[in-house]
Amino acid sequence: MSDATAKKEERRKFHAIKGTRDLLPPDTELWNRVEQTAHEVFSTFGFGEIGLPIFEPTDLFARAVGGETDIVSKEMFSFPLRPTTEELADELFDMDAEFSPAGNFVSPEDERQFQERKRTESISLRPEATASVCRAYIEHNMQQQPQPVKLYYMGPMFRRERPQKGRYRQFYQIGAEILGGTDAPAIDAEVIEMLMTYFDKVGLQGATLYINSIGHNAENCRRGYVANLKAALEKVKDKLGPDSQRRIDTNPLRVLDSKLESEQAIIATLPHITDHLCDECKTHYAEVKRQLQVRGVLYQENWRLVRGLDYYMRTTFEITAPGLGAQNAVCGGGRYDGLVELLGGPPTKGIGFAIGEDRLILSLQESGKGQIQQGRDVYIAWMGEHAYAAAIRAAKDLRNAGFSVELPPLEQKFGKALGQADKLGAKYALILGDNEVSEGLWTLKTLADGTQQKLTEPDLLQFLRDQKPASQ
Ligand code: HAM
Protein backbone atom coordinates (compact mmCIF):
# COMPACT_ATOMS: atom_id res chain seq x y z
CA MET A 1 0.00 0.00 0.00
CA SER A 2 1.41 3.42 -0.93
CA ASP A 3 1.83 6.06 1.74
CA ALA A 4 -0.93 8.14 0.21
CA THR A 5 -3.37 5.22 0.21
CA ALA A 6 -2.44 4.36 3.78
CA LYS A 7 -3.11 7.95 4.87
CA LYS A 8 -6.44 7.92 3.06
CA GLU A 9 -7.36 4.67 4.79
CA GLU A 10 -6.49 6.20 8.15
CA ARG A 11 -8.77 9.15 7.51
CA ARG A 12 -11.59 6.97 6.23
CA LYS A 13 -14.91 7.86 7.81
CA PHE A 14 -17.11 4.93 8.65
CA HIS A 15 -20.80 4.93 7.89
CA ALA A 16 -23.58 2.61 8.94
CA ILE A 17 -23.95 -0.14 6.32
CA LYS A 18 -26.60 0.39 3.63
CA GLY A 19 -30.06 -0.36 4.98
CA THR A 20 -28.99 -0.14 8.63
CA ARG A 21 -29.22 2.94 10.83
CA ASP A 22 -28.59 4.29 14.29
CA LEU A 23 -31.55 5.00 16.53
CA LEU A 24 -30.86 8.15 18.48
CA PRO A 25 -32.37 10.05 21.41
CA PRO A 26 -34.97 11.47 21.67
CA ASP A 27 -36.45 8.96 19.14
CA THR A 28 -35.27 6.06 21.28
CA GLU A 29 -37.65 7.23 23.99
CA LEU A 30 -40.51 6.67 21.60
CA TRP A 31 -39.12 3.23 20.74
CA ASN A 32 -39.01 2.43 24.45
CA ARG A 33 -42.58 3.62 24.96
CA VAL A 34 -43.81 1.52 22.04
CA GLU A 35 -42.02 -1.54 23.42
CA GLN A 36 -43.15 -0.92 26.99
CA THR A 37 -46.77 -0.71 25.83
CA ALA A 38 -46.34 -4.05 24.03
CA HIS A 39 -45.05 -5.66 27.25
CA GLU A 40 -48.03 -4.28 29.13
CA VAL A 41 -50.80 -5.06 26.64
CA PHE A 42 -49.52 -8.51 25.64
CA SER A 43 -49.16 -9.60 29.26
CA THR A 44 -52.81 -8.68 29.94
CA PHE A 45 -53.67 -11.25 27.23
CA GLY A 46 -51.54 -13.91 28.94
CA PHE A 47 -48.43 -13.78 26.72
CA GLY A 48 -44.89 -14.37 28.02
CA GLU A 49 -41.76 -13.02 26.36
CA ILE A 50 -39.34 -15.30 24.51
CA GLY A 51 -35.74 -14.37 23.65
CA LEU A 52 -34.43 -15.93 20.44
CA PRO A 53 -31.07 -16.15 18.66
CA ILE A 54 -30.29 -13.64 15.92
CA PHE A 55 -28.95 -16.39 13.66
CA GLU A 56 -30.22 -19.88 12.95
CA PRO A 57 -29.49 -22.64 10.41
CA THR A 58 -30.45 -21.43 6.91
CA ASP A 59 -32.45 -24.64 6.46
CA LEU A 60 -34.83 -23.63 9.25
CA PHE A 61 -35.99 -20.58 7.28
CA ALA A 62 -35.90 -22.40 3.94
CA ARG A 63 -38.17 -25.10 5.34
CA ALA A 64 -40.54 -22.79 7.26
CA VAL A 65 -40.81 -19.69 5.10
CA GLY A 66 -40.36 -21.58 1.82
CA GLY A 67 -37.43 -21.95 -0.59
CA GLU A 68 -39.27 -20.22 -3.45
CA THR A 69 -40.26 -17.11 -1.46
CA ASP A 70 -38.49 -13.80 -2.09
CA ILE A 71 -37.32 -13.78 1.54
CA VAL A 72 -35.45 -17.07 1.28
CA SER A 73 -34.43 -17.03 -2.38
CA LYS A 74 -33.11 -13.45 -2.52
CA GLU A 75 -33.12 -11.61 0.78
CA MET A 76 -31.31 -13.60 3.46
CA PHE A 77 -27.90 -12.74 4.84
CA SER A 78 -26.38 -16.22 4.86
CA PHE A 79 -22.86 -17.31 5.79
CA PRO A 80 -21.02 -20.60 5.69
CA LEU A 81 -19.97 -21.61 9.19
CA ARG A 82 -16.88 -23.79 8.87
CA PRO A 83 -15.68 -25.49 12.11
CA THR A 84 -12.34 -24.08 13.29
CA THR A 85 -9.32 -26.31 13.96
CA GLU A 86 -9.95 -25.97 17.71
CA GLU A 87 -13.58 -26.97 17.31
CA LEU A 88 -12.57 -30.00 15.25
CA ALA A 89 -10.02 -31.00 17.88
CA ASP A 90 -12.77 -30.72 20.53
CA GLU A 91 -15.09 -32.89 18.43
CA LEU A 92 -12.40 -35.54 18.08
CA PHE A 93 -11.76 -35.44 21.79
CA ASP A 94 -15.52 -35.78 22.46
CA MET A 95 -15.81 -38.74 20.11
CA ASP A 96 -13.15 -40.69 21.95
CA ALA A 97 -12.25 -42.40 18.64
CA GLU A 98 -9.49 -44.97 18.08
CA PHE A 99 -6.73 -44.27 15.56
CA SER A 100 -4.36 -46.52 13.64
CA PRO A 101 -0.59 -45.88 13.98
CA ALA A 102 -0.83 -43.96 10.66
CA GLY A 103 -3.36 -41.61 12.27
CA ASN A 104 -6.46 -42.95 10.47
CA PHE A 105 -9.80 -43.81 12.07
CA VAL A 106 -10.04 -47.45 13.02
CA SER A 107 -13.84 -47.56 12.83
CA PRO A 108 -15.60 -46.45 9.60
CA GLU A 109 -18.57 -45.31 11.76
CA ASP A 110 -16.24 -42.92 13.67
CA GLU A 111 -14.95 -41.59 10.38
CA ARG A 112 -18.51 -41.03 9.12
CA GLN A 113 -19.43 -39.20 12.32
CA PHE A 114 -16.36 -37.00 12.07
CA GLN A 115 -17.10 -36.09 8.45
CA GLU A 116 -20.60 -35.15 9.57
CA ARG A 117 -19.26 -32.90 12.36
CA LYS A 118 -16.72 -31.36 9.98
CA ARG A 119 -19.48 -30.30 7.59
CA THR A 120 -19.72 -26.60 6.85
CA GLU A 121 -23.15 -25.39 7.88
CA SER A 122 -24.97 -22.43 6.35
CA ILE A 123 -26.39 -20.02 8.90
CA SER A 124 -28.56 -16.96 8.31
CA LEU A 125 -29.42 -13.79 10.12
CA ARG A 126 -33.10 -14.25 10.94
CA PRO A 127 -35.42 -12.62 8.37
CA GLU A 128 -38.39 -13.23 10.70
CA ALA A 129 -39.00 -15.03 13.99
CA THR A 130 -42.01 -17.34 13.59
CA ALA A 131 -39.73 -20.17 12.42
CA SER A 132 -37.52 -19.68 15.51
CA VAL A 133 -40.49 -19.67 17.89
CA CYS A 134 -41.69 -22.97 16.40
CA ARG A 135 -38.17 -24.41 16.64
CA ALA A 136 -38.02 -23.37 20.30
CA TYR A 137 -41.51 -24.83 20.96
CA ILE A 138 -40.27 -28.20 19.69
CA GLU A 139 -36.82 -27.99 21.29
CA HIS A 140 -38.22 -27.24 24.75
CA ASN A 141 -41.11 -29.72 24.55
CA MET A 142 -43.57 -26.94 25.09
CA GLN A 143 -46.39 -29.22 23.92
CA GLN A 144 -46.20 -30.65 27.45
CA GLN A 145 -47.17 -27.31 28.98
CA PRO A 146 -50.80 -26.22 29.27
CA GLN A 147 -51.94 -25.35 25.73
CA PRO A 148 -51.96 -23.02 23.98
CA VAL A 149 -48.54 -21.52 24.64
CA LYS A 150 -48.60 -17.76 24.07
CA LEU A 151 -45.27 -16.09 23.34
CA TYR A 152 -44.11 -12.69 22.15
CA TYR A 153 -40.77 -11.30 21.04
CA MET A 154 -39.16 -8.10 19.90
CA GLY A 155 -35.88 -7.42 18.16
CA PRO A 156 -34.02 -6.93 14.91
CA MET A 157 -34.68 -8.92 11.73
CA PHE A 158 -32.60 -8.85 8.54
CA ARG A 159 -33.64 -8.85 4.90
CA ARG A 160 -31.51 -7.83 1.97
CA GLU A 161 -34.22 -5.74 0.34
CA ARG A 162 -33.77 -2.51 -1.61
CA PRO A 163 -33.77 0.14 1.15
CA GLN A 164 -36.36 2.93 0.96
CA LYS A 165 -38.63 4.81 3.35
CA GLY A 166 -39.99 2.24 5.81
CA ARG A 167 -37.87 -0.54 4.35
CA TYR A 168 -34.51 -1.40 5.89
CA ARG A 169 -32.10 -4.29 5.83
CA GLN A 170 -32.00 -4.35 9.61
CA PHE A 171 -35.48 -3.62 10.88
CA TYR A 172 -37.33 -4.36 14.08
CA GLN A 173 -40.37 -6.46 14.76
CA ILE A 174 -42.66 -6.92 17.72
CA GLY A 175 -44.40 -10.24 17.22
CA ALA A 176 -46.61 -12.72 19.02
CA GLU A 177 -47.44 -16.38 18.42
CA ILE A 178 -50.04 -18.77 19.87
CA LEU A 179 -49.05 -22.42 19.57
CA GLY A 180 -50.94 -25.58 20.43
CA GLY A 181 -54.49 -26.16 21.63
CA THR A 182 -57.41 -25.63 19.28
CA ASP A 183 -57.82 -23.74 16.03
CA ALA A 184 -61.06 -22.18 17.29
CA PRO A 185 -61.86 -18.99 15.34
CA ALA A 186 -62.09 -17.18 18.69
CA ILE A 187 -58.30 -17.50 18.90
CA ASP A 188 -57.84 -15.77 15.54
CA ALA A 189 -60.25 -13.05 16.61
CA GLU A 190 -58.65 -12.56 20.02
CA VAL A 191 -55.12 -12.24 18.66
CA ILE A 192 -56.37 -9.58 16.23
CA GLU A 193 -58.29 -7.88 19.04
CA MET A 194 -55.05 -7.76 21.07
CA LEU A 195 -53.24 -6.19 18.15
CA MET A 196 -55.88 -3.49 17.67
CA THR A 197 -55.96 -2.81 21.42
CA TYR A 198 -52.20 -2.37 21.29
CA PHE A 199 -52.32 0.02 18.32
CA ASP A 200 -55.00 2.00 20.10
CA LYS A 201 -52.97 2.23 23.34
CA VAL A 202 -49.85 3.28 21.50
CA GLY A 203 -51.80 6.06 19.73
CA LEU A 204 -51.68 4.80 16.13
CA GLN A 205 -54.31 6.62 14.11
CA GLY A 206 -56.04 5.60 10.89
CA ALA A 207 -55.01 1.93 11.01
CA THR A 208 -57.00 -0.34 8.67
CA LEU A 209 -57.29 -4.06 9.26
CA TYR A 210 -57.56 -6.28 6.18
CA ILE A 211 -58.46 -9.94 6.51
CA ASN A 212 -58.76 -12.94 4.22
CA SER A 213 -58.83 -16.71 4.31
CA ILE A 214 -56.51 -18.64 2.02
CA GLY A 215 -58.00 -22.03 2.95
CA HIS A 216 -55.88 -25.13 3.40
CA ASN A 217 -53.63 -27.14 1.15
CA ALA A 218 -56.14 -29.64 -0.32
CA GLU A 219 -57.60 -30.36 -3.75
CA ASN A 220 -61.09 -29.26 -2.69
CA CYS A 221 -59.69 -26.01 -1.22
CA ARG A 222 -56.58 -23.93 -1.97
CA ARG A 223 -54.90 -26.39 -4.33
CA GLY A 224 -58.02 -26.48 -6.51
CA TYR A 225 -58.17 -22.70 -6.43
CA VAL A 226 -54.51 -22.32 -7.40
CA ALA A 227 -55.05 -24.62 -10.42
CA ASN A 228 -58.01 -22.46 -11.39
CA LEU A 229 -56.03 -19.27 -10.90
CA LYS A 230 -53.13 -20.62 -12.92
CA ALA A 231 -55.43 -21.47 -15.83
CA ALA A 232 -56.93 -17.96 -15.69
CA LEU A 233 -53.45 -16.40 -15.57
CA GLU A 234 -52.23 -18.42 -18.55
CA LYS A 235 -55.02 -16.84 -20.60
CA VAL A 236 -53.83 -13.29 -19.83
CA LYS A 237 -50.11 -14.10 -19.60
CA ASP A 238 -48.98 -11.79 -22.41
CA LYS A 239 -50.62 -8.81 -20.69
CA LEU A 240 -48.62 -9.34 -17.50
CA GLY A 241 -45.16 -8.04 -16.58
CA PRO A 242 -42.13 -10.37 -16.43
CA ASP A 243 -42.36 -10.85 -12.60
CA SER A 244 -45.96 -11.99 -12.70
CA GLN A 245 -45.30 -14.13 -15.78
CA ARG A 246 -42.60 -15.97 -13.86
CA ARG A 247 -44.85 -16.36 -10.83
CA ILE A 248 -47.52 -18.17 -12.85
CA ASP A 249 -45.17 -21.16 -12.65
CA THR A 250 -43.42 -20.63 -9.31
CA ASN A 251 -46.21 -19.23 -7.10
CA PRO A 252 -49.37 -18.05 -8.86
CA LEU A 253 -50.92 -16.72 -5.61
CA ARG A 254 -48.20 -14.09 -5.42
CA VAL A 255 -49.46 -12.51 -8.65
CA LEU A 256 -52.36 -11.21 -6.54
CA ASP A 257 -49.82 -9.21 -4.53
CA SER A 258 -48.67 -7.22 -7.56
CA LYS A 259 -48.67 -3.46 -7.15
CA LEU A 260 -48.00 -2.83 -10.89
CA GLU A 261 -50.54 -0.30 -12.13
CA SER A 262 -50.85 -1.96 -15.55
CA GLU A 263 -51.83 -5.31 -13.96
CA GLN A 264 -54.57 -4.10 -11.64
CA ALA A 265 -57.47 -4.28 -14.11
CA ILE A 266 -56.43 -7.80 -15.15
CA ILE A 267 -56.09 -9.02 -11.56
CA ALA A 268 -59.58 -7.70 -10.79
CA THR A 269 -60.99 -10.26 -13.25
CA LEU A 270 -59.26 -13.30 -11.67
CA PRO A 271 -61.19 -15.87 -9.60
CA HIS A 272 -61.49 -15.19 -5.84
CA ILE A 273 -60.24 -17.73 -3.30
CA THR A 274 -63.25 -17.10 -1.07
CA ASP A 275 -65.41 -18.80 -3.73
CA HIS A 276 -63.23 -21.93 -3.66
CA LEU A 277 -62.83 -22.63 0.05
CA CYS A 278 -63.85 -26.06 1.36
CA ASP A 279 -66.80 -26.17 3.77
CA GLU A 280 -64.63 -26.31 6.93
CA CYS A 281 -62.46 -23.36 5.89
CA LYS A 282 -65.54 -21.40 4.82
CA THR A 283 -67.20 -22.00 8.20
CA HIS A 284 -63.97 -21.13 10.03
CA TYR A 285 -63.64 -17.85 8.14
CA ALA A 286 -67.28 -16.90 8.70
CA GLU A 287 -66.87 -17.52 12.42
CA VAL A 288 -63.64 -15.45 12.58
CA LYS A 289 -65.55 -12.54 11.07
CA ARG A 290 -68.47 -13.00 13.47
CA GLN A 291 -66.08 -13.16 16.43
CA LEU A 292 -64.38 -9.96 15.29
CA GLN A 293 -67.77 -8.26 15.16
CA VAL A 294 -68.63 -9.50 18.66
CA ARG A 295 -65.38 -7.90 19.83
CA GLY A 296 -66.14 -4.65 18.05
CA VAL A 297 -63.08 -4.98 15.78
CA LEU A 298 -63.60 -3.27 12.42
CA TYR A 299 -62.14 -4.99 9.36
CA GLN A 300 -62.17 -4.97 5.61
CA GLU A 301 -62.02 -8.13 3.56
CA ASN A 302 -59.31 -8.28 0.90
CA TRP A 303 -59.41 -11.38 -1.30
CA ARG A 304 -55.94 -10.52 -2.65
CA LEU A 305 -54.25 -10.78 0.75
CA VAL A 306 -52.15 -13.94 0.29
CA ARG A 307 -48.94 -12.96 2.20
CA GLY A 308 -45.41 -13.67 1.07
CA LEU A 309 -44.50 -16.59 3.32
CA ASP A 310 -45.43 -20.21 2.54
CA TYR A 311 -46.53 -21.33 6.00
CA TYR A 312 -49.92 -19.62 6.09
CA MET A 313 -53.30 -21.30 5.86
CA ARG A 314 -56.86 -20.07 6.56
CA THR A 315 -56.86 -16.65 8.27
CA THR A 316 -54.41 -14.04 6.97
CA PHE A 317 -54.39 -10.39 7.95
CA GLU A 318 -52.48 -7.18 7.46
CA ILE A 319 -52.76 -3.73 8.94
CA THR A 320 -51.89 -0.56 7.07
CA ALA A 321 -51.28 2.86 8.56
CA PRO A 322 -51.09 6.35 7.05
CA GLY A 323 -47.92 8.36 6.50
CA LEU A 324 -45.81 5.48 5.25
CA GLY A 325 -45.83 5.84 1.45
CA ALA A 326 -45.50 2.61 -0.52
CA GLN A 327 -44.45 0.51 2.47
CA ASN A 328 -47.68 0.99 4.36
CA ALA A 329 -48.10 -2.42 6.06
CA VAL A 330 -47.35 -2.00 9.77
CA CYS A 331 -48.26 -5.55 10.62
CA GLY A 332 -48.78 -8.90 8.97
CA GLY A 333 -49.88 -12.25 10.31
CA GLY A 334 -51.99 -15.31 10.00
CA ARG A 335 -52.67 -18.91 10.89
CA TYR A 336 -50.02 -21.55 10.25
CA ASP A 337 -51.33 -24.92 11.50
CA GLY A 338 -48.85 -27.58 10.42
CA LEU A 339 -45.67 -25.48 10.61
CA VAL A 340 -44.47 -27.08 13.85
CA GLU A 341 -45.02 -30.49 12.27
CA LEU A 342 -43.13 -29.41 9.15
CA LEU A 343 -40.17 -28.58 11.43
CA GLY A 344 -40.22 -32.04 13.01
CA GLY A 345 -42.60 -31.46 15.93
CA PRO A 346 -46.06 -32.88 16.73
CA PRO A 347 -49.15 -31.68 14.80
CA THR A 348 -49.77 -28.24 16.30
CA LYS A 349 -52.08 -25.31 15.61
CA GLY A 350 -50.47 -21.91 15.28
CA ILE A 351 -51.33 -18.28 14.64
CA GLY A 352 -49.47 -15.02 15.10
CA PHE A 353 -48.38 -11.68 13.75
CA ALA A 354 -45.41 -9.35 13.55
CA ILE A 355 -45.53 -5.58 13.74
CA GLY A 356 -42.93 -3.59 11.81
CA GLU A 357 -41.71 -1.40 14.66
CA ASP A 358 -39.80 1.02 12.39
CA ARG A 359 -42.99 1.67 10.41
CA LEU A 360 -45.11 2.00 13.53
CA ILE A 361 -42.71 4.64 14.84
CA LEU A 362 -42.70 6.46 11.47
CA SER A 363 -46.48 6.57 11.38
CA LEU A 364 -46.70 7.83 14.98
CA GLN A 365 -44.17 10.55 14.19
CA GLU A 366 -45.95 11.59 10.98
CA SER A 367 -49.26 11.95 12.79
CA GLY A 368 -47.68 13.98 15.57
CA LYS A 369 -48.40 11.21 18.08
CA GLY A 370 -44.74 10.43 18.48
CA GLN A 371 -43.88 13.64 20.24
CA ILE A 372 -41.50 12.97 23.02
CA GLN A 373 -41.18 15.43 25.80
CA GLN A 374 -37.62 16.56 25.47
CA GLY A 375 -35.30 18.25 27.85
CA ARG A 376 -34.46 18.11 31.52
CA ASP A 377 -36.71 18.89 34.44
CA VAL A 378 -34.12 20.89 36.33
CA TYR A 379 -30.89 22.62 35.34
CA ILE A 380 -28.77 23.48 38.35
CA ALA A 381 -26.99 26.80 37.83
CA TRP A 382 -24.36 26.94 40.55
CA MET A 383 -21.53 29.34 41.38
CA GLY A 384 -19.06 29.01 44.23
CA GLU A 385 -17.62 26.12 46.16
CA HIS A 386 -20.28 25.92 48.89
CA ALA A 387 -22.96 26.14 46.28
CA TYR A 388 -21.38 23.24 44.37
CA ALA A 389 -21.57 20.92 47.38
CA ALA A 390 -25.26 21.87 47.85
CA ALA A 391 -25.83 21.41 44.08
CA ILE A 392 -24.43 17.87 44.16
CA ARG A 393 -26.72 17.05 47.09
CA ALA A 394 -29.75 18.60 45.38
CA ALA A 395 -29.01 16.71 42.14
CA LYS A 396 -28.85 13.43 44.07
CA ASP A 397 -32.14 14.09 45.89
CA LEU A 398 -33.96 15.21 42.75
CA ARG A 399 -32.71 12.26 40.69
CA ASN A 400 -33.77 9.89 43.46
CA ALA A 401 -37.21 11.47 43.27
CA GLY A 402 -37.26 10.67 39.52
CA PHE A 403 -36.42 14.08 38.01
CA SER A 404 -34.00 14.45 35.14
CA VAL A 405 -31.33 16.84 36.30
CA GLU A 406 -28.43 18.51 34.53
CA LEU A 407 -25.57 19.47 36.82
CA PRO A 408 -22.88 21.34 34.87
CA PRO A 409 -19.41 20.01 35.71
CA LEU A 410 -17.78 23.44 35.64
CA GLU A 411 -18.77 26.73 37.19
CA GLN A 412 -20.60 29.06 34.79
CA LYS A 413 -21.77 32.64 35.05
CA PHE A 414 -25.50 32.63 35.80
CA GLY A 415 -26.34 34.24 32.43
CA LYS A 416 -24.54 31.53 30.52
CA ALA A 417 -26.01 28.80 32.72
CA LEU A 418 -29.57 30.04 32.10
CA GLY A 419 -28.90 30.15 28.35
CA GLN A 420 -27.69 26.56 28.51
CA ALA A 421 -30.77 25.54 30.53
CA ASP A 422 -32.96 27.04 27.79
CA LYS A 423 -31.08 25.22 25.03
CA LEU A 424 -31.56 21.90 26.83
CA GLY A 425 -35.29 22.61 27.14
CA ALA A 426 -35.18 22.53 30.95
CA LYS A 427 -38.40 23.36 32.79
CA TYR A 428 -36.71 24.88 35.84
CA ALA A 429 -33.37 26.39 36.69
CA LEU A 430 -32.28 25.98 40.27
CA ILE A 431 -30.04 28.92 41.04
CA LEU A 432 -27.47 28.27 43.72
CA GLY A 433 -24.86 30.84 44.67
CA ASP A 434 -22.93 30.99 47.92
CA ASN A 435 -25.48 33.60 49.10
CA GLU A 436 -28.41 31.27 48.60
CA VAL A 437 -26.59 28.54 50.47
CA SER A 438 -25.70 30.72 53.47
CA GLU A 439 -29.24 32.18 53.62
CA GLY A 440 -30.78 28.71 53.30
CA LEU A 441 -33.15 30.00 50.63
CA TRP A 442 -32.76 28.62 47.14
CA THR A 443 -34.00 30.29 43.96
CA LEU A 444 -36.12 28.38 41.48
CA LYS A 445 -36.79 29.92 38.10
CA THR A 446 -39.61 28.62 35.88
CA LEU A 447 -38.11 28.99 32.43
CA ALA A 448 -41.38 29.09 30.47
CA ASP A 449 -42.55 32.35 32.10
CA GLY A 450 -39.40 33.62 33.80
CA THR A 451 -41.00 33.74 37.28
CA GLN A 452 -38.76 33.17 40.30
CA GLN A 453 -39.39 32.04 43.83
CA LYS A 454 -37.22 31.60 46.92
CA LEU A 455 -37.71 28.40 48.85
CA THR A 456 -35.97 26.41 51.56
CA GLU A 457 -34.36 23.19 50.37
CA PRO A 458 -37.14 20.87 51.70
CA ASP A 459 -39.90 23.17 50.37
CA LEU A 460 -38.24 23.32 46.98
CA LEU A 461 -38.05 19.53 46.69
CA GLN A 462 -41.67 19.28 47.80
CA PHE A 463 -42.70 21.97 45.31
CA LEU A 464 -41.04 20.11 42.43
CA ARG A 465 -42.53 16.81 43.52
CA ASP A 466 -46.00 18.40 43.47
CA GLN A 467 -45.41 19.69 39.92
CA LYS A 468 -44.51 16.31 38.50
CA PRO A 469 -47.41 14.66 36.62
CA ALA A 470 -48.51 11.38 38.21
CA SER A 471 -47.63 9.40 35.04
CA GLN A 472 -43.92 10.17 35.30
P1 HAM B 1 -43.99 -10.05 7.29
O2 HAM B 1 -45.24 -9.58 6.64
O3 HAM B 1 -42.90 -10.53 6.41
O4 HAM B 1 -44.42 -11.20 8.30
O5 HAM B 1 -43.41 -8.92 8.25
C6 HAM B 1 -44.22 -8.31 9.22
C7 HAM B 1 -44.02 -6.81 9.22
O8 HAM B 1 -42.62 -6.51 9.37
C9 HAM B 1 -44.40 -6.11 7.93
O10 HAM B 1 -45.80 -5.84 7.89
C11 HAM B 1 -43.60 -4.83 8.02
O12 HAM B 1 -44.27 -3.89 8.84
C13 HAM B 1 -42.33 -5.28 8.73
N14 HAM B 1 -41.23 -5.45 7.76
C15 HAM B 1 -41.00 -6.50 6.95
N16 HAM B 1 -39.90 -6.28 6.19
C17 HAM B 1 -39.43 -5.05 6.54
C18 HAM B 1 -38.31 -4.25 6.13
N19 HAM B 1 -37.43 -4.68 5.23
N20 HAM B 1 -38.15 -3.03 6.70
C21 HAM B 1 -39.02 -2.57 7.64
N22 HAM B 1 -40.07 -3.29 8.07
C23 HAM B 1 -40.29 -4.52 7.53
C24 HAM B 1 -43.57 -11.89 9.12
O25 HAM B 1 -42.43 -11.58 9.32
C26 HAM B 1 -44.25 -13.03 9.84
N27 HAM B 1 -43.22 -13.73 10.66
C28 HAM B 1 -45.37 -12.51 10.71
C29 HAM B 1 -46.08 -13.59 11.47
C30 HAM B 1 -45.89 -13.92 12.75
N31 HAM B 1 -46.97 -14.43 10.97
C32 HAM B 1 -47.35 -15.26 11.91
N33 HAM B 1 -46.70 -14.97 13.00
Whose C-alpha lies nearest to ligand 1, atom 10?
A: 331
pLDDT tens readout for residues 120-152? 899 999 999 999 999 999 999 999 999 999 999
CA-closest residue to ligand 1 atom 15: 356
Which of 77, 171, 183, 209 has most ligand 1 atoms within 8 Å of CB, for mutation?
A: 171
Which of 128, 134, 313, 362 most suits a substitution to test ligand 1, by most atoms within 8 Å of the C-beta?
128
Q: Report how far ligand 1's centroid is from the alpha carbon of 335 (Å).
A: 14
Compute, in angstroms, the gap from residue 159 CA to the centroid of ligand 1.
10
Ligand 1, atom 18: nearest CA belongs to which residue? 167
Least confident of 337-341, 347-351, 384-388: 384-388
User: Rounded to two decimals, what is the model's pTM?
Assistant: 0.90
Q: Tell me how far the alpha carbon of residue 427 lies from the centroid of ligand 1, in angstroms.
A: 40
Ligand 1 midpoint to CA 46 (Å): 23
Q: What is the mean pLDDT of residues 446-458?
A: 93
> What is the distance in A from the centroid of ligand 1 to the CA of 18?
19
Ligand 1: which atom is nearest the Cα of residue 161?
19
pLDDT at 199 over 70: yes
The residue whose CA has the least distance to atom 31 of ligand 1 is: 333
Higher pLDDT, residue 290 or 373? 290
| Most confident of the following: 331-335, 368-372, 440-444, 453-457 | 331-335
Which is higher by pLDDT, 8 or 281? 281
CA of 359 to the centre of ligand 1 (A): 10
Ligand 1 centroid – CA 331 distance (Å): 6
Residue located nearest, by CA, to atom 12 of ligand 1 = 356
Mean pLDDT of 194-220: 96
CA torsion, ordered 126, 130, 133, 134, to nearest 10 deg: -120
Sorting pLDDT into bands at 50, 70 and 90, what band is 341? Answer: very high
Output the pLDDT for position 187: 98
The confidence band for 262, taking pLDDT boundaries of 50, 70 and 90, is: very high
- Please state the rounded mean pLDDT for residues 419-446: 93
Nearest CA to ligand 1 atom 8: 356
Tell how far the Cα of 64 is from the centroid of ligand 1, in angstroms: 15
Averaged pLDDT of the chain: 93
pLDDT value at position 3? 78
Task: Quote the pLDDT of residue 77.
Answer: 98
pLDDT attached to residue 471: 44
Per-residue pLDDT at 44 exceeds 70: yes
Mean pLDDT of 398-425: 93
For residue 95, pLDDT beyond 50: yes
Confidence at residue 17, expressed as pLDDT on a 0 to 100 scale: 96
**Statement: residue 440 has pLDDT above 50:** yes
Residues with CB under 6 A from ligand 1: 128, 130, 159, 161, 166-168, 171, 173, 175, 177, 309, 329-334, 352-354, 356, 358-359
Please choose from 69, 157, 177 the residue to mutate so as to test ligand 1's pocket, defined by most ligand atoms within 8 A of CB.
157
In which band, very low, low, confident or very high, does the pLDDT at 469 lie, cut at 50, 70 and 90?
Answer: low
User: What pLDDT is recorded for position 472?
Assistant: 45
CA of 143 to the centre of ligand 1 (A): 26
Q: Whose CA is closest to atom 2 on ligand 1?
A: 332
Q: Report the nearest-CA residue for atom 22 of ligand 1.
A: 356
